[in-house]
Chain A
Amino acid sequence: MKAKTMLVLLSTLLIVEVTLSAIPVYAERAKFPRAKDYLTSENVAEPIFKKAVLPDEYLFPEGWDKTADWEMIRSRYGGTTVKLLCEGTDIEAPLLFRDQFEQISGMKLEISGVPPPVMFEKMMVAFASGVAAYDVVEYYSVHMPVFSQFFEPLGSYIAKWGYDWEDWLPVWQELCTYQGKILAVPYDCDAQFWLSRVKFMNEAGIARNPKTYDEVVEYAEKLVPILPSGVYPMGFMASRSFFSWETFLNFAAPFGADIFKPGTWEPAINSPEGVNALKFLKMLLDNYSPPGCTGWGYTEQLTAWNAGQMAMCIQYPNQESYNPAMAKIAAEERWHSIIPKGPGPKGRYAPEGTRTTSILGMLRNSPSKDAAFTFIAFLSSAEPSFIYTIAGTGLDPGRKSVFDHPLTKKLYPNYQAWIDSADYMYFTERMPETPVLESIAYAEIHDVLTGKKEAKKALDTIVKEYRRILERSGYYKPGAPEPPIMWMQDVLKHKK
Chain B
Amino acid sequence: MKERTRKFRPIFLMLPCVVFLLGIIVYPFAYNIYLSFFYYPFHMPWTRHFIGGGNYVQLFTDPYFLGSLKTSGILTGLSLTVETFLGLIIALLLNMEFKGRGVARMFFIIPLASIPIVNGYLFKLLLFPGASPITLLLMKIGLVNNSAFSWQAQTWSAIAAIVMADAWKWTPFMALIILAGLQAIPQAPYELANIDGASAWRVFWRITLPRLKFPLTIAMLIRAMDLLRVFDEVFSLTEGGPGSATETAAFYIYRRGFKTFMFGFASAASLIVWGIIFITCFLIIKKVFAEI
* A and B part of one assembly: yes
Contacts of A472 in B (CB 8 A): 47
Q: A292 and B148 in contact (CB under 8 A), knowing A149-B43, A240-B241, A304-B130?
A: yes
Give Cα distance in the complex from A177 to B2, angstroms.
Answer: 82
A307 to B131: give the CA distance in the assembly, Å.
Answer: 10
Q: Is the CB of A230 within 8 A of B241?
A: no
Which residues of A have CB within 8 Å of B148?
230, 290-292
B contact residues around A435 at 8 Å (CB) = 259-261
Measured in the bound complex, the distance between the Cα atoms of B106 and A163 in whole Å is: 62
Q: Which residues from 455 to 488 on chain A have a C-beta closer than 8 Å to any C-beta of chain B? A: 472-474
**Stretch binding the partner chain, chosen from B82-90, B149-157, B181-189:** B149-157
Judge whether B147 and A230 touch: CB under 8 Å. yes
Contacts of A453 in B (CB 8 A): 243
Distance (whole angstroms) from the CB of B240 to the closest CB of chain A: 5
Given A295-B152, A439-B260, verify A239-B130 contact (CB < 8 Å): no
A146, A149, A292 interface centre (most CB from chain B within 10 Å): A292
Q: How far is the CA of A447 from the CA of B148 in the complex (A)?
A: 21
Contact check, A239 vs B239: say whether CB atoms are below 8 A apart: yes
Asked whether any CB of chain A lies closer than 8 Å to the CB of B208, the reply is no
In the bound complex, CA of A314 to CA of B283 (Å): 53
Contacts of B241 in A (CB 8 A): 239-240, 294-295, 446, 450
Q: Can you name the residue of chain A whose Cβ is closest to the Cβ of B161?
A: A295
The residues in B between 1 and 52 inclusive whose CB is less than 8 angstroms from any CB of A are: 41-45, 47
Q: Which residues of B contact A294 (CB under 8 A)?
A: 150, 152-153, 241-242
A403 to B51, CA, bound (A): 53
Interchain CB contact under 8 A, B242 and A121? no
- Decide: B129 and A291 in contact? CB cutoff 8 A: yes
Alpha-carbon separation in the docked complex, A377 to B233 (Å)? 41
Does B108 reach chain A (CB closer than 8 Å)?
no
Q: Are B130 and A146 in contact (CB under 8 A)?
A: no
**SS of A interface (majority):** helix
- In the bound complex, CA of A294 to CA of B154 (Å): 10
State how many residues of chain B have any CB contact under 8 Å with chain A. Answer: 35
Q: Chain A: interface residue count, which band?
A: 35 or more
Instruction: Provide the A324-345 mask, 1 if CB < 8 A to any CB of B, else 0.
Output: 0000000000000000000000
Distance to closest chain B CB from A171 (angstroms): 25
* A436 is an interface residue with CB less than 8 A from chain B: yes
The CA-CA distance from A292 to B131 in the complex, in Å, is 11
Q: Does B214 contact A (CB under 8 A)?
A: no
Interface flags, B224-253, vs A, CB<8A=1, else 0: 000000000001001111111000000000
Q: Does A247 contact B (CB under 8 A)?
A: no
* Chain A residues, CB < 8 A from B238: 240, 295
Answer whether residue B123 sits at the interface, using C-beta atoms and an 8 A cutoff: no
Within 8 A of A (CB), among B247-271: 255-256, 258-262
Q: Answer whether residue B168 sits at the interface, using C-beta atoms and an 8 A cutoff.
A: no
- Provide the bound-state CA to CA distance between A447 and B64, in Å: 12
Taking a contact as CB atoms under 8 Å apart, the answer to whether A446 and B243 are in contact is yes
A240 B239 Cβ-Cβ under 8 A: yes
One of B41, B239, B259 near A120 (C-beta < 8 A): B259
CA distance A240 to B235 in the complex (A): 10
A265-299 interface bits toward B, Cβ cutoff 8 Å, 1 = contact, 0 = none: 00000000000000000000000001111110100
Check: A309 CB closer than 8 A to any chain B CB: yes
Tell me which residues across on chain A come within 8 A of B149, comparing CB atoms: 291
Is A450's CB under 8 angstroms from B261's CB? no
The distance from the CB of A128 to the nearest CB of chain B, in whole angstroms, is 6
A473 — nearest CB in chain B belongs to which residue? Answer: B47
C-alpha spacing A472/B44, complex, angstroms: 12
B145 CB contacts on chain A under 8 angstroms: none
**Closest B-chain residue to A453, C-beta based?**
B243
| Cross-chain contact A147 with B43 (CB below 8 angstroms) | yes
In the assembled complex, the CB of B236 is this many whole angstroms from the nearest CB of chain A, namely 9
| A291 touching B64, Cβ below 8 Å | no
Known: A128-B42, A230-B148, A432-B43. A290 touches B129 (CB 8 A): yes
B128 within 8 A of A: yes
- Tell me the complex Cα distance, A230–B146, Å: 10
* Residue from B47, B128, B235, B242 within 8 A of A450 (CB atoms): B242
Residue of B nearest to A299 (CB): B124
- The contact string, 1 if C-beta is below 8 Å from chain B, for chain A 128-144, is 10000000000000000
Q: A120-B259, A447-B243, A450-B243 given as contacts; is B146 within 8 A of A291 (CB)?
A: yes
Chain B 126-138 per-residue mask, 1 if CB under 8 angstroms from chain A, else 0: 0011110000000
Encoded as 1 (CB less than 8 Å from any B CB) or 0, chain A from 416 to 434 comes to 0000000000000000110
**How near does chain B come to A376, taking the closest CB pair, in angstroms?**
23
Chain B residues positioned under 8 Å from A447 (CB to CB) = 243-244
- Is A104's beta carbon under 8 Å from chain B? no
B254 shortest CB reach to chain A, Å: 9
Q: Using Cβ atoms and an 8 Å threshold, which residues of chain B touch A120?
A: 259
A443 at the interface (CB under 8 A from B): yes
Closest to A307 in B: B131
Partner of B256, one of A146, A149, A439, A473: A439
B152: chain A residues within 8 A (beta carbon): 239, 292, 294-295
A291-B148, A450-B241, A453-B243 given; A439·B130 CB < 8 A: no
User: From A437, which residue of chain B is reached at the shortest CB distance?
Assistant: B260
Q: Mark A227-243, 1 if CB is under 8 A from B, else 0.
A: 00010000000011100
Does any Cβ of B come within 8 Å of A452's Cβ?
Answer: yes
**Interface pairs (5), CB distance under 8 Å:** A295-B129, A295-B151, A432-B41, A439-B259, A439-B260
> A121-B258, A240-B239, A474-B47 known; 7 other A-B pairs, CB under 8 Å?
A240-B241, A290-B148, A291-B148, A436-B261, A439-B256, A439-B260, A450-B242
Q: Measuring CB to CB, which residues of chain A are less than 8 angstroms from any residue of chain B?
A: 117, 120-121, 124, 128, 146-147, 149, 230, 239-241, 290-295, 297, 300, 303-304, 307, 309, 432-433, 435-436, 439, 443, 446-447, 450, 452-453, 472-474
List residues of B whose CB falls within 8 A of some A CB: 41-45, 47, 64, 124, 128-131, 146-153, 235, 238-244, 255-256, 258-262
Closest 10 CB pairs of A and B: A295-B152, A292-B129, A292-B150, A450-B242, A452-B243, A291-B150, A240-B241, A435-B260, A436-B260, A240-B239
